[in-house]
């Protein structure tokens, strides 16, 4: 399943020619404020995105796996303007929690911002809670499963494109070409709870 960009990414790809893209347009302004948490995921303060990442402090994030009714799983190629894993293939949707925000609220917000789709809290099923880990950028992560057929309206400065594959195809592909996949996705696909939710055993 050798990757070539025009073939692997279905539709939703076009030359959007933004020229210079501001960081806050792609959801990563260095001035964003996130909560800092301790080893037990309890809030101990808040700092800017930039300071948290530079100091390697623990913070919070969400990931969503979106499955269509036909069994295909959505993955996104991250914007090439991102400062972290630019152009790599990631989960359907992911993002940090803003200061004071709940995991579930952040998941709904991120899906709307990245995919252009408004969903309700009850449409998301939590399938894993992952303690902070270096392969997740020192993030505590709650992982959600979303099922349903929706029409994407991608936020192009933040998401380059999307692809649809079965979970098994993604497993085989990511094993063969791990270098084109974001580290958090590879890590999450190893988690037993996530594998069960995606039908991978």
Average pLDDT for runs of 10 along the chain of length 201: 40 33 51 96 97 97 98 95 88 98 98 96 99 96 98 88 97 97 98 98 81
Residues 6+ apart with CB under 8 A from 69: 147, 148, 149
pLDDT score, position 140? 99
Which domains are delineated in the chain?
A: 29-197 (3.90.79.10)
Integer-rounded Cα Rg, in Å, for the chain is 16
Rounded to whole angstroms, the Cα distance separating 65 from 100 reads 24
pLDDT of 27 reads 54
Single out the residue of 122, 173, 174, 129 nearest to residue 148, CA to CA.
Answer: 122
- Quick one: 52 exposed, middle or buried, by C-beta within 10 A (0-12, 13-18, 19+)? buried
Provide the pLDDT for residue 181.
98
DSSP 100-148: T--HHHHHHHHHHHHH-----GGGEEEEEEEEEEGGGTSEEEEEEEEES
Rounded to two decimals, the pTM is 0.85
Structure tokens at 133: 């880990």
pLDDT at 56: 96
Residue-level pLDDT at 166: 98
**For residue 157, what pLDDT is reported?**
81
The predicted pLDDT at position 84 comes to 80
Structure confidence at residue 28 (pLDDT) = 57
């Amino acid at each position: 399943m050798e990757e070539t960009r025009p073939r692997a990414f279905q539709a939703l790809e076009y030359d959007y020619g933004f020229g210079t893209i501001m960081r806050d347009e792609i959801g990563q302004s260095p001035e964003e404020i996130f909560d800092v948490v301790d080893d037990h995921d309890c809030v101990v303060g808040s700092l800017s995105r930039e300071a948290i990442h530079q100091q390697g402090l623990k913070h919070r994030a969400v990931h969503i796996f979106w499955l269509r009714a036909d069994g295909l799983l959505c993955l996104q190629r991250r914007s090439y303007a991102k400062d972290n894993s630019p152009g790599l293939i990631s989960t359907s949707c992911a993002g940090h929690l803003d200061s004071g925000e709940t995991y579930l609220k952040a998941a709904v917000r991120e899906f709307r911002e990245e995919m252009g789709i408004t969903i309700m809290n009850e449409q998301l099923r939590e399938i894993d809670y992952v303690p902070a880990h270096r392969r997740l950028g020192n993030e505590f992560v709650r992982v959600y499963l979303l099922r349903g057929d929706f029409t994407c309206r991608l936020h192009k400065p933040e998401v380059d494109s999307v692809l649809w594959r079965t979970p098994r195809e993604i497993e085989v592909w990511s094993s063969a070409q791990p270098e084109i996949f974001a580290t958090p996705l590879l890590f999450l696909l190893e988690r037993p709870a996530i594998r069960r939710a995606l039908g991978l055993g």
